[in-house]
Amino acid sequence: MQDAEALAIMRAFADGVKTYDQVVEKEAIRDCTVNLFNQLRAYSVGVLFLQTLNHFQRYSYVRQAHAKERRQLATLQ
C-alpha cells in the first residue's frame, strides 16, 4: 500500500467517525482490524508497533481477537 492510500484511509476514518455508535456498530470492521494486527505480528516491525500500544489498546485488541475466535468456534459447532 502506498503512503497516499494509507493517508486517504486514515483521513476517511478521522472525517467519518464522529460518534460512539459509529465506533462500535461494525463488527466486520473490528474483525478486519484484528486480522490486520494479527498479520502485523508476523513481522518484527509489526511486533514493535503492537508493543507501542498502550495498555488499553492492547487489551482491546486481545479482547476483540478472543471474541472473534469464540464466534468462529461457535459457527463450527
For the segment 47-66, the average pLDDT, to the nearest whole number, is 95
Higher pLDDT: 69 or 23? It is 69
Per domain, the residue ranges of the chain are 3-76
Q: d(Cα 12, Cα 22) in Å, to the nearest integer?
A: 13
User: Are 34 and 61 spatial neighbours (Cβ–Cβ below 8 Å)?
Assistant: yes
pLDDT digits (tens, 9 = 90+) for 1-56: 899 999 999 999 899 889 988 888 788 888 999 999 999 999 999 999 999 999 99
Residue the block writes with cell 471474541: 67
Would you state the pLDDT for residue 29? 85
DSSP assignment of 29-70: HHHHHHHHHHHHTTSHHHHHHHHTS-HHHHHHHHHHHHHHHH
Are the C-beta atoms of 31 and 65 separated by less than 8 Å? no
